Amino acid sequence: MLTPKDFGIKVDVIEDGTTAVENAIKKAYAYYNIAKLPTIAGDSGLFIDGIPKDKQPGLFVRSVNGKVLTDDEMIEYYKKLIESIGGKTTEYYVTGLALITKQGLFTTEISENEFILSSTISKNNHHGNPLDVMTIDSVLQKFYTDMTDEDFKNLGHIFDKECVAFLKKNLLNNNEILNR
């Protein structure tokens, strides 16, 4: 798989959609219009149980009151937010995917597995999502930052399965790759 970076493409997309799918569509079109290749883009929203609707991050996981948070600010903000409701709760992401090919636009929305969000912070550093230091897998009962590669391989997340099914249905079945 190639990324926009491999093509030297950098586009600033205004993510002002009201859903993850709308933002994914904006991103996919922005890159497809330049690359003219099958393009997939995604966007996610975070939903935390026990948090009032006006405090839900939704599509603005990294932005609070119009300010884009650094990794450390993000961790501190969510730590305090989770402390305010008892120190532990469940959370889930909703991810929108948009795929553009010669045959058209295909979209899906995936409600991902629930996780535990804790105000306790793992001592291990994150290597991706800053919230991994406070996210605990509900089956393994381990922080994401404490998991081994084997742990990750065995998780069986809904997103992985549904993403692969979406791509098979809309990319491979319409022979987009085979006809290039």
- pLDDT tens for 66-82 read 899 999 999 999 999 99
Q: What is the pLDDT of residues 136-170, one digit of tens each?
A: 998 889 999 999 888 888 787 788 889 999 999 99
pLDDT band at residue 174 under the 50/70/90 scheme: low
Q: What is the pLDDT of residues 10-44, one digit of tens each?
A: 899 999 999 999 999 999 999 999 988 899 999 99
Is 35 inside any structural domain?
Answer: no
Is 125 inside any structural domain?
Answer: yes
Alpha-carbon span 87 to 118, nearest angstrom: 6
pLDDT band at residue 125 under the 50/70/90 scheme: confident
pLDDT on residue 180: 46
Q: Which domain holds residue 154?
A: 44-172
Q: What is residue 50's DSSP assignment?
A: T
Is 110 inside any structural domain?
Answer: yes
Is 107 inside any structural domain?
Answer: yes
We report the CATH number of the domain holding residue 114 as 3.90.950.10
pLDDT on residue 154: 79
Is 20 inside any structural domain?
Answer: no
Segment 110-122 shows an average pLDDT of: 94
Q: Phi and psi dihedrals of 117, rounded to 5?
A: -110, 125
| Residue-wise burial string across 87-111, b where 16 or more C-beta atoms lie within 10 A, e elsewhere | eebebbbbbbbbbbbeeeebbbebe
| Closest-CA residue to 91 (of 138, 124, 53) | 138
Contact in structure between 74 and 82 (CB atoms under 8 Å): no
Average pLDDT over the chain, rounded to whole?
90
Which H helix or E strand runs over 44? strand 39-48
State the total domains in the chain: 1
pLDDT band at residue 173 under the 50/70/90 scheme: low
pLDDT on residue 175: 58
Is 23 inside any structural domain?
Answer: no
| Closest-CA residue to 171 (of 30, 37, 43, 35) | 37
Is 16 inside any structural domain?
Answer: no
